[in-house]
Amino acid sequence: VCSMGNSTSRLYSVLAKTLSSSAVSQHQDCLEQLDPARLDPIDPKDLLEECQIVLQKRPPRFQRNFVNLKKDTASNHRPIRVMQWNILAQALGEGKDNFIQCPMEALKWEERKCLILEEILAYKPDILCLQEVDHYFDTFEPLLSRLGYQCTFFPKPWSPCLDVERNNGPDGCALFFLKDRFELINSANIRLTAMKLKTNQVAIAQTLKCHETGRLFCIAVTHLKARTGWERFRSAQGCDLLQNLKNITQGAKIPLIVCGDFNAEPTEEVYREFSNSSLNLNSAYKLLSPDGQSEPPYTTWKIRPSGECRHTLDYIWYSQHALNVNSALGLLTEEQIGPNRLPSFNYPSDHLSLVCDFSFNQDPDRLL
C-alpha cells in the first residue's frame, strides 16, 4: 500500500489497516465490497487534516459559496445534500486525456486523491455520485465506508482505462450514501442500451428511505457516451435510462434525483428528453441563473491539443414537484480556474463538482 504523499502518520495507517496486499492487486477478480463492520470508523476532521498535510506545498483549495435558493415554504427536516462529480480517472488523466497545459506533477495520484477527498470532506454530502472512478477498491470504498457511507460501484464493461499502461483497473460510476440518514430499499446496476444494443456506459439507481421523514426517493448516477458525433447514441442511452427510472419510481410516484456527466450540452436531444420526460424533472443548476431557465456557462474547462474545451455537461436533475432545491454551490470563476484551465495544482479534475441541498415538498400526497 502506498502512502499518501510524504505523510506516514494516521492516514497512511488508515489505508494500511484497511487493505490487504491482495485487495489492491491489479484488475480485481471480483467486485465484492469489504465488510465495513470489520473496519474502524474515521473522524472526518482527522482525514481532512491528513489530506492538508499531504497538500501543504500546493496552493489552497478554491473557495466556493452556496447560493440560497429556498422559497418561503418551510421545511421540518434537515436538507439532503447531494454531490455530483466526474473526478477524472487517474489512468485517463495521466494517459489518454492529454491535458497539455497541466503539468504531470499536478496529476500525481498520491496528492490528487487528497485534493479529491478534501473537496468531498469540505462539503460533507449525504449522497455522493461520482464518475470516472478507477481507484474505488484501494481508496474510495475503504475510506468512505469508514466515514459512514454505504458504497456501490459499477464499472464500465470495456473501460478505456484498461488500455493505459499500469492502470488501476476499469473506471465506472460510484454511489455513496450515509447509513445514519438513509436505508437502502432497492439497488439496480444498469448497463445502458442504445438501438437495442448493450453499450459501454452504465448507471446505478438506488431507492432510499429517509430515516428522519420516512419518505422514499430514488437516487441515480450515470455517465453517458463522450465525443462529438455521438449525439444520437447519447439520446438513445438517455431514453433507456429514463425508461428504467420510470419503472423503478413506479411512474414518478417515488421522487427522483439523477446525477451525471451526460457529455451533452443543453442543446442536445438527450437534454430535451430529460427536460420533457413524464418524470417531471428539472435541472437544479438552472436555478442559479437570473431567470431560472439557463444552465451554467460551463461545468468543465480544459485545454487539449485540439484546443480549448469549455462545456456544460454535468447535471443534477430532480423531481420538481416532490423536491425543493434549498441551495446550490456556486461554480468556480474564470479567474479562479486560471489561464491553464483544469485540472491543475489547485483542482483535481477537469469537471467541477456540483452540490445541492434538497428538501421534500411538505405535501407528500401531492401528485407529480
For 13-31, the pLDDT digits (tens) are 554 444 433 334 444 444 4
Distances in Å between the Cα of 368 and the Cα atoms of 253, 278, 299, 359 are 7, 9, 29, 15
Q: Please determine, for residue 180, whether its predicted confidence score (pLDDT) is greater than 50.
A: yes
| Distance between CA atoms of residues 284 and 287, nearest Å | 6
| Distance between CA atoms of residues 5 and 57, nearest Å | 11
Q: Phi then psi for 4, rounded to 5 degrees?
A: -90, 95
| Distance between CA atoms of residues 134 and 185, nearest Å | 27
Best CATH choice for the domain 83-362 from the list 3.60.10.10, 3.90.1150.10, 3.40.309.10, 3.40.350.10: 3.60.10.10
Which SS3 state, helix, strand or coil, does residue 92 take? helix
| DSSP string computed for 146-210 | HTTEEEEEEE-TT-GGGGSTT--S--EEEEEEETTTEEEEEEEEEEEEETTEEEEEEEEEEEEEE
The answer to whether 169 and 161 have CB atoms below 8 angstroms apart is yes
Residue 238: which of 203, 285, 186 has the closest Cα?
A: 203
For 239-293, the pLDDT digits (tens) are 999 999 999 999 999 999 999 999 999 999 999 999 999 999 999 999 999 999 9
Give the residue extent of every domain in the chain: 83-362
Region 5-16 average pLDDT:
46
**Whole-prediction pTM value?**
0.91
Distances in Å between the Cα of 206 and the Cα atoms of 29, 156, 224, 354 are 25, 18, 18, 20
